[in-house]
């Protein structure tokens, strides 16, 4: 096969578009398979969680990010390194709570929603909910229990996409039953 035909083609752009379309097919199949949008949202979160518990190992191996000392450092690692590494975007970190245990990630551009329009009967579908599960799973593997949800969504007419992360508690390392 000649390489001449591939000149001028941005392979990152092609890979990004292929990923976006594949994800869209996955969501479309879930919508067909499940009765309600709420159940689709749960399945996307569950899939994301399973991805997150595995992805954190790759992230820690490939990045130069060390142990985070607080939730603010964790927010920086997520936004500036994690999203950049895997989705090629850097969301803004804003809206910190007074206690410092909650913040928002603001996406001007969510690559998962390229080429997507939600049908009217799916307004309560959180199309990118897989991202909530990824963050929940990854952070659980580094002993942080968090609540992650979408506060705004461009697919639903908002100007930006906003994910809200709330620190619940630090998890303790636990040995499996019977091991000391």
For 107-135, write each residue's pLDDT tens digit: 988 888 888 888 888 889 999 999 999 99
Higher pLDDT, 12 or 72: 72
Distances (CA, A) of 43 to 14, 62, 85: 27, 28, 24
Q: Which residues contact 35 (CB under 8 A, 6 or more apart)?
A: none
* pLDDT more than 70, % of the chain: 88
Residue 105, judged by CB atoms within 10 A of its CB (0-12, 13-18, 19+), counts as: buried
Between the two ends of the chain, the Cα-to-Cα distance in Å is 58
pLDDT of residue 103: 97
């Amino acid at each position: 096969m000649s390489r001449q035909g591939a000149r001028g083609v941005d392979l990152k752009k092609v890979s990004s578009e292929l990923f976006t379309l594949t994800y869209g097919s996955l969501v479309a199949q879930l919508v067909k398979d499940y009765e309600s949008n709420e159940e689709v949202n749960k399945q996307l979160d569950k899939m994301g969680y399973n991805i997150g518990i595995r992805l954190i190992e790759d992230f820690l191996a490939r990045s130069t990010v060390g142990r985070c000392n607080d939730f603010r450092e964790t927010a920086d690692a997520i936004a500036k390194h994690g999203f950049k590494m895997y989705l090629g975007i850097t969301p803004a970190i804003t809206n910190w709570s007074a206690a410092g245990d909650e913040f928002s990630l603001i996406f001007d551009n969510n690559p998962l929603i390229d080429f997507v329009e939600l049908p009217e009967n799916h307004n309560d579908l959180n199309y990118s909910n897989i991202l909530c599960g990824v963050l929940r799973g990854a952070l659980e593997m580094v002993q942080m229990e968090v609540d992650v949800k979408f506060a705004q969504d461009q697919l639903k007419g908002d100007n930006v996409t906003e994910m809200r992360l709330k620190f619940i508690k630090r998890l303790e390392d636990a040995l499996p039953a019977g091991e000391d």
